[in-house]
Amino acid sequence: MTLLELEDVTAFYESVQVLDGVSLSVPDQGAVGILGANGAGKTTTLRAISGTVRTGGRIVFDGKDIRGMRPDQVAALGIAHVPEGRGTLGDLTVRDNLRVGAYLRKDRKAVDTDIEYCLDLFPNLQDRITSNASALSGGEQQMLAVARGIMSKPRLLLLDEASLGLAPSTARNVYDAIHRLRTESGIAMLVVEQNANLAFTLVDSATVLETGRNVLTGTSAELRGMDEIRRAYLGG
């Protein structure tokens, strides 16, 4: 069953068109990658879904057209956006960041259990639980950003460049934890990633964007090592 469907989506910053007809679909419990060079429209595709950019076309989540909704309304439907640059709340402690993530939930006991789960998933955060988010390292902030996303118990996680600016081994750790999360929770994921090899460890299929439109879509096995992938990144 399809959880999220984008059909011919366009997006604009002021009058500049950034997406020029992007289509993709994410199956329930599936994980799909969005690959492409800088400026191809990967981040904007996620922003179109979470309602932070003006869009055209059709965006359907769980049978409901969500195009034009506000970000908080989209979040309330069960879509958690872990933005590029992490978006952690610097002046709040790690625990408060996680509590903000669970803002819409009423089940207080289960929230505490889920905080424990996040700390188990990202053990680095355990020792920093009372630190302000701004005092964390880049890798820890990224872990916190993902953890905050899953605290809302989403059905779909939008993950933007989770490896950006991290040391290769740290990026690995983050992706390993997300992989474990995927296996254990069944949360569907739409993953934007510069590092295609890292993305392929997580996603079942991917689409490649070039100047705001899809140029190639396939399963991870098909896409791995294809020339188009290399071309899309290197522009050659």
Partner 1 sequence: MEKFVQLVVDGLSTGSVYAALALAIVLVHSATGLINFAQGGMAVLAAYFAWWLTNQGLPLIVAILLSIVFSFVLGAAVERWLMRRFERGDPDTAIVVTVGLLTLITGIAGWLWSYNNQQFESLFPLDTVSFLGVSVSVRSIGTTLVIVAAMILLQLLFVRTKLGLALRAVAINPQSAAFSGLPVGRLLMVGWGLAAVLGAVAGALVAPRLTLTPGMLDNALVYALAAVILGGLTSPFGVVIAAWLIGVLENLAAVYVPFIGFDLKVAVPFILIFVVLLVRPQGLFGRKTVVRV
Geometric angle at alpha carbon 43, from 25 and 20, rounded to 5°: 65
> CB under 8 A: which stretch of 3-11, 20-28, 34-42, 135-143 binds partner 1?
135-143
Residues 162, 178: contact at Cβ < 8 Å? yes
101 binds partner 1 (CB under 8 A): yes
Cα 25 to Cα 56: distance, rounded to the nearest angstrom = 16
Label residues 74-94 b or e (16+ Cβ within 10 Å = b): bbeebbbbbbbebbbbeeebb
Among residues 87 and 218, whose Cβ is nearest to partner 1? 87
Among residues 121 and 229, whose Cβ is nearest to partner 1? 121
Residues in region 146-175 near partner 1 by CB under 8 A? 148-149, 151-152
Residue 181 Cβ vs partner 1, minimum distance, rounded to whole Å: 17
Residue 90 Cβ vs partner 1, minimum distance, rounded to whole Å: 6
226 binds partner 1 (CB under 8 A): no
Residues 208, 226: contact at Cβ < 8 Å? no
Closest by Cα among 225, 158, 156 to 1? 156
How many residues at the interface with partner 1, by CB under 8 A?
Answer: 31
Binding mask 47-76 for partner 1 (x = CB under 8 A): ---x-x-----------------xxx--xx
Residues in region 115-134 near partner 1 by CB under 8 A? 134
Residues 26, 155: contact at Cβ < 8 Å? no
Residue 207 Cβ vs partner 1, minimum distance, rounded to whole Å: 23
Residues 74, 51: contact at Cβ < 8 Å? yes
Query: Which residues contact partner 1 by CB under 8 A?
Result: 50, 52, 70-72, 75-76, 80-83, 87-92, 96, 99-101, 103-104, 134-137, 148-149, 151-152
